[in-house]
Amino acid sequence: MSKNINVALIGNPNTGKSSVFNHLTGLNQKTGNYPGITVEKKQGICRLPRGVKARILDLPGTYSLNASSLDENVVVELLLNKNDKDFPDVAVVVSDVENLKRNLLLFTQIKDLNIPTILVINMSDRMRRKGISIDTHKMEQLLHTKVALVSARKNEGIDVVKEHIAAYKTLSAQACLDVKQIDQDYFESLERTFSNQSLYKLWLVITQDVNFAKVERKRMEAENADHMRTPSFLKRLQQKETIKRYQFINNVLKECYNKDSSKATDLRGKLDRVLTHKVWGFVIFFVVLLSIFQALYDWSSVPMNFIDASFVQLSDWAKTSIPSWMAPNLIAEGIIPGLGGIVIFVPQIAMLFLFISILEETGYMSRVVFIMDRVMRRFGLSGKSVIPLISGTACAIPAIMATRNIENWKERLVTILVTPFTTCSARLPVYLILISLIIPDERILGANLQGLVLMIFYLLGFGMALLAALVLHKILPQNQTSYFVIEMPNYRIPLLKNVLLTIIEKTKSFVLEAGKVILAISILLWVLASNGPGETFKNAPQEVSKSVSISDANYDQKLSAYKLEHSYLGIIGKGIEPAIRPLGYDWKIGIAIVSSFAAREVFVGTLATIYNVGEDKEETIKERMAAETYADGSPVFTLASGLSLMVFYAFAMQCMSTLAIVRKETNSWRWPAIQLFTMTVIAYVCALVTFQYFSL
C-alpha cells in the first residue's frame, strides 16, 4: 500500500525551484530567470521509489526565515505550524551552485526546526565552466543531511532527489547551530520556561510577524512576558544568529567547496556595465521595446489575415450549412464572429509572450528592474514595483499578486492600485484593431508607424501608472523607509522548452478565459439584437419599405440596420449614447464598452457580433468597422474617435477579475471601489479631451 508524504520545495529566489518542481511532478509551472516567479504555494504529485507518493509544494522564494514580506510569510507560517495540512514531512532546499554560501543560511535555519531536510544543489552543469568543485560526501557529513547535485536545465540528478525524499526517515535530525550560542542566558531562560518545546521554533515564533506566530506569541506573553523583549534587543540577537550561521557555513565550505576564479570569465561584468548604465541602459531598453512592437506588426500580418478570412468563411458556411434546429443565425452572427474577434489576435499575443519570455530567460529582465529602481524612487515606489508593472503587460492579476514581495505596505498598496494602468494583453486586441483602422500602414525612418503608435500607448500606460503613484505617494500617510535588493541572475541562453511553454500556456489561458466570457456575452448580445419590443420591431420590413423598395440593392442592409436599432440592444445603446457621444462614440461602441467591463478584450468580440447580426456580406470585422457611418454619412471610426477610444481603454479599469484580486490582496472593498471610480473618471476625462482636441 502506497504512503503519502508532504514535501516542501524551498529556496532563495531564482535558484530554479520551479524547474525542479516541474521535473519532479511533470507539471508545467512557469519558470523564469528573475526573482519573484512563485508568489503562492503550488502543488503537484510525484511518485517515488518503494511505492511512496509525495505531494510536492513549491513555496515562494525566501532568503531566510526572518520574513519581511507576505510571500516569505507563507514559508514561515507553514514551517511553524505542525497542525497545517501542508506541513512537510521533509523539506527540500534548492540552492544555486554559484551562490551556495548565501543559500545555506536558509538551509541551516530549516534544518534546525527538526524537519528532515535535503539539500539540492542546482545548476551543476555550470560547475566545470565556473571552475567549481564540490565534495558532496564531505558536505553531507558536515551538514548531517543528503546532498544532490542537479541540473534542472538538463534534467540530471532528479532521480537522486527522489531517492533521498523516499528515504527521508533516515535523515539526521542534528542541528547545524546550537541556538544557545546566540545568547546563553536568554535562551537557557527560554528553555526552562518552555521545556517541552523546540528552542529554535520558539525563537522564530517570538521574532516573526506572521499569522500563526501571532497566536503563539499571545500565549507566550501570558505565560512569561520576560522573553518578549524590545524589538531592538531581538533584532540584535537576529544579527548575532546570522553571524553565527555564516561562521558555520564558512567552515563547511572551506572543507568541501572550491572555486577556481581563473576559469571564470568577466563577460557578465562587461555586459552589466553596459545594460545597467545610467544612460545606455535606458537607451538599450527603449530599442528593445521598439524592436518588439515593430515585430508585432511586421511578423504577424500574414497569420492574422489568414485567421480573419477563415472566420468570415466559417460564418458564411454556418449560415448555409447548419440545420435550422441548431440556430444557424446565432452561430453565424453571434458566436463565430465574437470568438473570431479574439482569435485573430492570437499571433500578436503569442509573439508578445515570446519576447517577454526571452527577456526573462536571458536574465535581462532583472537588469531592467535594477535600472528602473532609480526612476521608481522618484514616484514613491520600490524598485521591486517594476516586476509587477512589467508583469502587468501580460495580465494584471498575477502582477498584483507579485506585489507580495514588497515589504513596505504603502509601496505595496500603491503598486497594487497603479498596476492596472500598464497595458495588459487584454488591451492589445483593442489597440490593434483601432490602430489598423486609423493609422496608415507607413514607415518613418524605416520604422512601422503602427508599431510606433502601439509602443506609445504602452509607454502612456506606464507613464500614467507612475503619475498615479506619485499622487498616491503624496496623499497616503508616510510609512517606514524601504530598501531595494535584487539578485542579478547569470545570463543564460533561453531554453526552447521554457519559451514554448510560456507562449502556449499564456496564449491558451488568454484565449480560454476570454473565450468563456465572449461566448456568454455573444449569445446574450445576439438575443438582444435579434429581438425587440412592440410592433416597431415586428413591422420592420413595412417601415423600411416606405423609404427603400424591396428591389433596391440596399434594402437588406437598411432592414438589418433598422431592426438592430429598434432591438432591445439598440434601445439600451441609445439610452447610454448621450453620455458617450461627447467622446465620439455611437451607441454600438457604447454597448461594446459596457460589455467589456467584464473583460477588456470583449470589446472587439462585441462589435464583431453587433456588426454581423442580420448581415450577409462576407466582410471582416475590420472592413465592417471601417465602413460604419452615422446617419449623415460621416465615418464613426476617425482619427479623433479612434484615439479617444484607445485613451479610454488605456486608463479604464474594465476588468472585474482584477478588482476581485485587488479586494483579496488588500482585504477590503474600499480600495477596489476607489480604483474603479478613479480610473473610470480619468479614462472618461482624458478620452473627452483627446476627441475634442483631434476634432478641431
Question: Do 68 and 186 fall within a single domain?
Answer: no
Q: What is the pLDDT of residue 35?
A: 47
Question: Do 201 and 243 fall within a single domain?
Answer: yes
Q: Among the listed ranges 26-30, 147-151, 521-525, which one has the minimum average pLDDT value?
A: 26-30
Question: Do 94 and 240 fall within a single domain?
Answer: no
368 pLDDT above the threshold of 90: no
Residue 229 maps to a domain: yes
Nearby residues of 379 by Cβ (< 8 Å), 6 or more positions away = 466, 467, 469, 470, 473
384 pLDDT above the threshold of 60: yes
Average pLDDT over residues 416-442: 88
612 neighbors 558 (Cβ within 8 angstroms):
no
Reported as a pLDDT band with limits 50, 70 and 90, residue 621 is confident
Q: In what order do the strands lie in the sheet with 3-11?
A: 42-47, 52-58, 3-11, 90-96, 117-122, 147-149
The pTM (predicted TM-score) of the whole model is: 0.68
Reported as a pLDDT band with limits 50, 70 and 90, residue 32 is very low
Domain count, the chain: 2
364 pLDDT above the threshold of 80: yes
Please state, rounded to an integer, the average pLDDT across all residues of the chain: 82
Residue 456 maps to a domain: no
Question: Do 87 and 216 fall within a single domain?
Answer: no
Which of 138, 170, 202 delimits the end of a domain?
170
158 neighbors 20 (Cβ within 8 angstroms):
yes
> How confident is the model over 500-522, as pLDDT tens digits?
887 887 788 777 776 777 777 77
End-to-end CA distance of the chain: 79
Question: Do 22 and 157 fall within a single domain?
Answer: yes
CA distances from 410 to 62, 112, 380, 482 (A): 21, 34, 9, 10
Reported as a pLDDT band with limits 50, 70 and 90, residue 71 is confident
169 pLDDT above the threshold of 80: yes
Residue 236 maps to a domain: yes
* Residue range of the domain that includes 32: 3-170
345 pLDDT above the threshold of 90: no
Question: Do 96 and 125 fall within a single domain?
Answer: yes
Question: Do 152 and 191 fall within a single domain?
Answer: no
Question: Do 52 and 158 fall within a single domain?
Answer: yes
The CATH number of the domain holding residue 106 is 3.40.50.300
Q: Is 42 helix (H, G, I), strand (E, B) or coil?
A: strand
Residue 691 maps to a domain: no
Question: Do 15 and 125 fall within a single domain?
Answer: yes
Please name the helix (run of DSSP H) or strand (run of DSSP E) that holds residue 118, with its range, or none.
strand 117-122
Question: Do 41 and 89 fall within a single domain?
Answer: yes
Q: What is the pLDDT of residue 682?
A: 95
- What's the one-letter identity of residue 137? H
Question: Do 164 and 196 fall within a single domain?
Answer: no
Residue 233 maps to a domain: yes
Question: Do 214 and 82 fall within a single domain?
Answer: no
Which of 110, 137, 170 delimits the end of a domain?
170
Q: Output the DSSP codes for 44-72.
A: EEEE-GGGEEEEEEEPPP-SSSS--SHHH
694 pLDDT above the threshold of 90: yes
Which of 260, 293, 322 delimits the end of a domain?
260
